[in-house]
Amino acid sequence: MNDIAGLRKEYMLHSLKANDMPHDPLVFFEQWFKEALESEVLEANAMALCTVDPKGRPSTRIVLLKGVEDGSYVFYTNYHSNKGQMITLNPNVSLTFFWAELERQVRIEGVAEKVSEQVSDAYFASRPRGSQIGAWVSEQSEVIDNELDLSKVAEHVAQRFEGMEVIRPQHWGGYAVKPEQIEFWQGRPNRLHDRMRYTLQSAENTWQLDRLSP
């Protein structure tokens, strides 16, 4: 392999100053997300979701942010999947966005809970028909023999809903992650990165802002 230890990149694009940070981290996230979209970051809404299994072992995968609603970060998945089962047992999760083009990272820690059936229905109805059928086909995280099995099931589901709307399967829907901590990381020269952390003060329902050492 190449000399991995020797890989280096100097971060020099931006900086973070406490006086420029708003009181509400979701306002700042919206600003950064907009800049990521304007900079044509690839899959700007892709985020690493980390859950924990009953033995305390973490598991991470990429999911897509589909909205920030009522102060929560929303994504959709199969409730029977590994991540769905882990969230049922332990709703404490983390989300991480990494926008390399802007030398930025956002880390979110919070609690996940299912969105209402009405919200899941509305989003499901907005999906392409092929994706709707896919939600019925996939028994996510289960072992399968080969991809041909999926194709056969997909054909069967397509025939079932031919000429009609595809309804949402009950095992598929959304989660809303209510943040308790949000950290904004901005790459800086000489690894002296800017790290600004917001922590929710539950009693006052306000946010405390702290600068962290890199």
Q: How far apart are the first and last CA of the chain?
A: 29
Q: Cα angle vertex 66, ends 162, 180, to 5°?
A: 145
**Catalytic-labelled residue, pool 191, 195, 197, 211:** 191
Count of alpha carbons within 13 Å of 34, Cβ hemisphere only?
A: 6
Instruction: Clarify whether 191 is annotated catalytic.
Output: yes
Residues 6 or more apart whose Cβ sits within 8 Å of residue 176: 69, 70, 72, 73, 74, 112, 113, 114, 115
Structure tokens at 154: 């997909």
Q: What's the one-letter identity of residue 67?
A: G
Q: Which residues are catalytic?
A: 191
